[in-house]
Structure 1
Amino acid sequence: MFSPALSVRCPGSIPACARACKVLAAHRVIWTKEEDMKTRSVWIAAVLFVAGVGSLVACGVRRDMAPMAYPSAQYLATPDAQERPGAGFNTEAYDRIVENPFLAAAENPLSTFAIDVDTASYSNARRFLSQGQRPPPDAVRIEEFINNFRYEYPEPQGQAPFTVTAETTRCPWAPEHVLVQIGLRAKSINQEGIPPRNLVFLIDVSGSMADPNKLPLLKSALRLLVEQLTERDRLAMVVYAGSSGLVLPPTPGDRKGTIIESLDRLEAGGSTNGGEGIQLAYRVARESFVQGGVNRVVLATDGDFNVGVTSQGELTRLIEKERESGVFLTVLGFGMGNLKDSTMEKLADLGNGNYAYIDSLSEARKVLVHEAAGTLVTVAKDVKLQVEFNPARVRAWRLIGYENRLLRAEDFNNDKKDAGEMGAGHTVTAIYEIVPAGAQGSQAALAGVDPLRYQTPRQATPESGSDELLTVKARYKDPAGETSRLLTQTVSAEERDIRQASDNLRFAAAVAAFGMLLRGSEHKGNATLDLVRELAQSALGRDPNGYRAEFLELVEKAKGVL
């Protein structure tokens, strides 16, 4: 006779039960169920046969919602499920990244892309490194590493919501090359200047969220945001699992006790019908819309949508439709093992929003307290950059990162084309590695571009003979506008040694090199962890919250996995 080895609350779906019961090996898992339609209760018994020894795992839950259809009685791991010793099945999903190559400036004079203020990739990689693992290459989005940090670019003056600046230096990992740092800084807003906020928390309470680093951490993180609300703000709470529901109607921000009580009552259980929850959350936000205020849905999830609208295509079309209401989106990712990073990044991009991964309470404080204005208050939307290179000065160029934010050249002037959003106080950084015209040696050969023999007269202009290296153009719209405005900045050819560059450029270069090393990039040149540490150590600058110092600790952890 078997005796129960473990008793747990059933999350309400067969795969979730397998996770909750810690099924760590690919052995037979046979499920039986008995469903009482009158009491709407579900009892599930699982018999695990491991090395010939059986033990009974019994799970039970009283269901107050409509009964749910279950999959077949036998649960088998999907072919792409991976298993690590001491952990559950790993079904994390990342979009493939094909690194930007070097392009000949004469044939490809324009580089066009949407800005990106997401930071999820950095904190997610930190989670891997803290566990002694190297992050998957596709989990490393270098632009998100760079933009995880704040840079001291000039504050905007006048009517423009952000400034555009640039700086050049010799490339530390390829001495024949030049680095160009393009920096944007949005105007800052202090706590008193934040307009009234209409926020809807959309919280995933499915069975996959039961782990301590998911729903429990999520609740602690959102408490930090609640503490900043005032009587001018309104907050509602929508939850979703097998179905969705409004657990807190729009409530004044000074009624913190009521809000926290609703948050504390949340428990994980059920499958994940994210599409239904998204629709309800946007409807609640529209009904409480504040003209001239902050209207935003804050989605907190591991991204594992498994019932209802589940495909990326369906979800993204849903978000594209909902964003037309003027409600913006913030996506907060939690947990490990089944993190659907690719889905959450796409939802944030298409929802006029941002995406952060919360691996700790300190990261939650960074995103929701220290950078709350930038996370929640949009000052410019559909921000795009277009860089034109002077072929008389530039032989070839490469944009570091932003692989999934690239646009066609004609998209720059197309106001119907969606792009990135900038929040109050945000800084955005883009780094180009340039092969100068006339560069010689093996490093220049990495560009894969042969020297040009001919240049047609019509390509030559008076400006091409100047000392201009490139021109940066930025387009943006006001948060409620539909017509873009243009900013332009020229950059001269100035090749200073990296030691003479600003803290901004030295630190950003260190982070870029670190990302390339983690990815195993073919463009890493002479980069090493020692070089990364040296550059970062010399560029700590003002670091009030210790984020740059923490980066140095991460570099040390990387030594064990690279």
Structure 2
Amino acid sequence: MKTITLALFVMLFSMQIFSQEKTISGTISDENGLPLPGVNIIIKSTTNGTQTDFEGNYEIKANVGDVLSYSFLGYKTVEKTVGVASNISFAMVVDSDALEEVVVTALGIQRKPSNLAFSSHSVKMNSNTSNYSRGYSKRSNRKSKNKNSYPNIAQSLSGKVSGLQINSTNRGINQSTRIQLRGSRAITQNNQALIVIDGKIATSEELANLNPKKIKDVNVVKGANGAALYGSQGANGAIIVQTKSGKWKMPKELKKVINSQKTSLVVNQEYDTEEYEEIEENQFENVRVSPLSTFSIDVDKASYSNIRRMINNGQPIPPNAVKIEEMINYFKYDYPQPTNDHPFSINTELVVTPWNKETQLVRIGLQGKTYSNEELPASNLTFLIDVSGSMSSANKLPLLKSAFKLLVNQLREQDHVSIVVYAGAAGVVLKPTSGSNKDKIIAALDKLQSGGSTAGGAGINLAYKLAEANFKKNGNNRVILATDGDFNVGASSDKAMQELIEEKRKSGVFLSVLGFGYGNYKDSKLETLADKGNGNHAYIDTMQEAQKVFGKEFGGTLYTIAKDVKLQIEFNPTKVEAYRLIGYENRLLADEDFVDDTKDAGELGSGHTVTALYEVIPVDTKSDYLKSIPDLKYTKTQISADYEDELFTVKFRYKEPDGNKSIEMVHVQTDKVSKASVDMYFASAVALFGMQLRNSEFCNSTNYSTVLELAEKGRGNDSSGYRSEFIRLVSSYNNL
């Protein structure tokens, strides 16, 4: 009897232990002990999971006895059973057996593949490539003239070959490139991979300058195994390129082996077809000729997270991908909540420019009123999800589904969700469903699979039709489009999409646009859709970014508190000689548009902040940026002396979400230079970094150390860690 009682006690005790939920955290590193971001951690036999952050850290809730699966491309999957310990940290191990393709003879020396045990990637080149920058400039209405008629082939391998690191000291096609294969432990700088083009040793610059259209295939041999092919020259791995016109041919016996490999990884996909609208940097404007500066606000933040993705992947950053205003507005600033009937507060600051002591820096900040989730009106949300073939990769549809689950978990009973998908055609997969039925909504998301072409226009039409049919009066009616922007069936040009969405916004349905993935990301299309659809545009590269967009900024992402928000600044010519707006190049408006209520402008969401920076040249200051202006014959400018203590006047116009007539606010900035606040230090650091990425003529010979110094002064109370992450990104980019 005692034995039975003891057995029951042990069994019950074991069941109690294995039902305890606890938080497991840890740090995952690579084989060199460096933090490994983006490792997938999944509770086995469930869909619950997370990813490591940029420092390799993670946190997940699991029960004792659960099995955690850790996976990352090019590394062996590791399984750990949750026990008493709450910390599980370890280094991943390179999976050299996962990639078995063996190719190539080395410099004419033939080896039998059976004698060579090493890993290799074969990357088939696709001729359908394009420039980093395309489209039309809103300011100049002319096509981009990017001199790079083809992308950098060396950089295109980044992200396609496990462990391949591409470091560039300059940007552009003639950059200085250093290529390393993960696993090289040399502490010297002489550990670059060997480059072989058509059987001859070449430099990394020659590889970078090759036109991808002329390449037949590329084979990458990793690690010290390259020595088996090329001796000591290939000890750090080798990249072997075969061109279409080259006379060098691979031996028949090796071709036979390559064709027979069933487990070889062949990457056959388009790359570097990302599209960005051309940006022409704002110049200094003479106040006597152009005293007014008018622009639309921009709360989009896609540019920063997109740039972050490129830096973390070791990719070059196309200048037209750098939108300084979106970088600045990615971060929160300590502006006070509005205290009057207007939905936002206005804040200004004037300091000496950190990168040019001869000029002054102006910060203009808006703080949108913050509403709690319970205060928001009932929502009629239509998820419009791209399930075409281009969305198949892990950082697209799988990440998209996980991101949308974060949104679904915050819905209330009065909120309703519909789901429309599009590929070769569009269809409804979920009719309006209450937020109280989260399991049904999530089940519909889980069933989504990718395949087919991209009928984006048909999807937009169907989503708006469904949203209008279920329109909630005095509610939040919104379509949330999630895609990589690769529309290739039906209306696909930016202009066609603009006309379509301008017509749809008349329904009173707002639009949020979420971008996913890379390689064929169409930033210009998604920005057009968001701008013209009374919405916002975000780029989601990780679950951490999804949590920011759908978690911390839920209200701002989904609920508009003011639309068509415009700013017009009038500078006092007795105080300011010239000014330039930093960023917002694609948001500039004609001065007369400020009072024209038919002109579209940006929207402000609950809790959103908007920041704009101006660099101004004070009167009687010598500057190389000042341009002489000829005297006017018929026009004489008379300057008023009645406002000697004023630097500028800011006027704001906005409409209520359902209104058609704008409301105006006015704010005056005195000519008083103050010590820079913490937020001013940080905003100026982000602006300067953006200018450097764009190779701006106004950087005044500063380098990344200046950015880091300013950012450190502006770190402040960084509770969410976003400012610290920026500092790490700048440091990483500085070391490339």
Task: Return the TM-score normalized by structure 1.
Answer: 0.84
CA gap of 1:252–1:448, structure 2 versus 1, over 3 A, is same
Alignment partner of 1:227 is 2:409: yes
SS at match of 1:144: helix
Query: Would the aligned equivalents of 1:134 and 1:518 in 2 still touch at CA under 8 Å?
Result: no
Deviation at 1:495, TM superposition (A): 2.4
SS at match of 1:459: coil
Alignment partner of 1:309 is 2:491: yes
- What are the equivalent positions in structure 2 for 1:460-475 lying under 5 Å apart? 460-464=639-643, 466-475=644-653
- Rounded to whole Å, the distance in 2 between the matches of 1:359 and 1:452 is 53
Deviation at 1:133, TM superposition (A): 2.2
Q: Which amino acid aligns with 2:594?
A: F
Match of 2:638 in 1: 459
Deviation at 1:509, TM superposition (A): 0.6
Query: Would the aligned equivalents of 2:573 and 2:639 in 1 still touch at CA under 8 Å?
Result: no
Residue-by-residue CA offset, 1:277-297 (whole Å, 9 max, x unaligned): 000000111111111111110
- What are the equivalent positions in structure 2 for 1:23-172 lying under 5 Å apart? 53=255, 88-172=270-354
Match of 1:533 in 2: 708
- Rounded to whole Å, the distance in 1 between the matches of 2:615 and 2:268 is 42
SS at match of 2:642: helix
- Rounded to whole Å, the distance in 2 between the matches of 1:392 and 1:245 is 62
- Rounded to whole Å, the distance in 2 between the matches of 1:351 and 1:255 is 29
Match of 1:485 in 2: 663
Residue-by-residue CA offset, 1:274-326 (whole Å, 9 max, x unaligned): 00000000011111111111111000000000011111111110000000001
Deviation at 1:453, TM superposition (A): 11
Match of 2:515 in 1: 333
Alignment partner of 1:436 is 2:611: no
Query: Would the aligned equivalents of 1:104 and 1:449 in 2 still touch at CA under 8 Å?
Result: no
Match of 2:147 in 1: none
Residue-by-residue CA offset, 1:37-61 (whole Å, 9 max, x unaligned): xxxxxxxxxxxx995748779xxxx
- Higher relative contact order structure (alpha carbons within 8 Å, sequence separation ≥ 6): 1
Alignment partner of 1:292 is 2:477: no
Match of 1:79 in 2: none
- Rounded to whole Å, the distance in 1 between the matches of 2:215 and 2:697 is 40
Aligned partner of 1:476 among 639, 645, 654: 654
CA gap of 1:469–1:86, structure 2 versus 1, over 3 A, is farther
CA gap of 1:311–1:557, structure 2 versus 1, over 3 A, is same
Query: Would the aligned equivalents of 1:132 and 1:557 in 2 still touch at CA under 8 Å?
Result: no
SS at match of 1:515: helix
Alignment partner of 1:524 is 2:699: yes
Alignment partner of 1:423 is 2:605: yes
Deviation at 1:15, TM superposition (A): 8.2
- Rounded to whole Å, the distance in 2 between the matches of 1:285 and 1:208 is 26
- What are the equivalent positions in structure 2 for 1:444-455 lying under 5 Å apart? 444-449=623-628
Query: Would the aligned equivalents of 2:464 and 2:509 in 1 still touch at CA under 8 Å?
Result: yes
SS at match of 1:314: helix
Q: Which runs of 5+ in 2 are unaligned?
A: 1-100, 102-126, 130-155, 162-211, 218-243, 261-266
Alignment partner of 1:254 is 2:449: no
Residue-by-residue CA offset, 1:328-354 (whole Å, 9 max, x unaligned): 000000001000000100110000000
**Number of positions where the alignment pairs a residue of Structure 1 with one of Structure 2:** 495
- Rounded to whole Å, the distance in 1 between the matches of 2:715 and 2:593 is 37
Query: Would the aligned equivalents of 1:132 and 1:560 in 2 still touch at CA under 8 Å?
Result: no
Alignment partner of 1:245 is 2:424: no
Residue-by-residue CA offset, 1:211-246 (whole Å, 9 max, x unaligned): 000000001110100010011100000000000000
Match of 2:717 in 1: 542
Deviation at 1:134, TM superposition (A): 2.8
Alignment partner of 1:355 is 2:537: yes
- Rounded to whole Å, the distance in 1 between the matches of 2:600 and 2:497 is 17
- Rounded to whole Å, the distance in 2 between the matches of 1:106 and 1:458 is 7
Match of 1:263 in 2: 445
Alignment partner of 1:214 is 2:396: yes
Q: Which runs of 5+ in 1 are unaligned?
A: 6-13, 30-48, 58-84
| Percent of aligned pairs with the same amino acid | 51
SS at match of 1:106: coil
Query: Would the aligned equivalents of 1:187 and 1:425 in 2 still touch at CA under 8 Å?
Result: yes
Query: Would the aligned equivalents of 1:274 and 1:308 in 2 still touch at CA under 8 Å?
Result: yes
Match of 1:558 in 2: 733
Q: Which amino acid aligns with 1:504?
A: D
SS at match of 1:463: coil
CA gap of 1:25–1:361, structure 2 versus 1, over 3 A, is farther
Query: Would the aligned equivalents of 2:346 and 2:667 in 1 still touch at CA under 8 Å?
Result: yes
- Rounded to whole Å, the distance in 1 between the matches of 2:319 and 2:275 is 12
- Rounded to whole Å, the distance in 2 between the matches of 1:393 and 1:449 is 18
- Rounded to whole Å, the distance in 2 between the matches of 1:128 and 1:230 is 36
Match of 1:10 in 2: none
Deviation at 1:88, TM superposition (A): 4.4
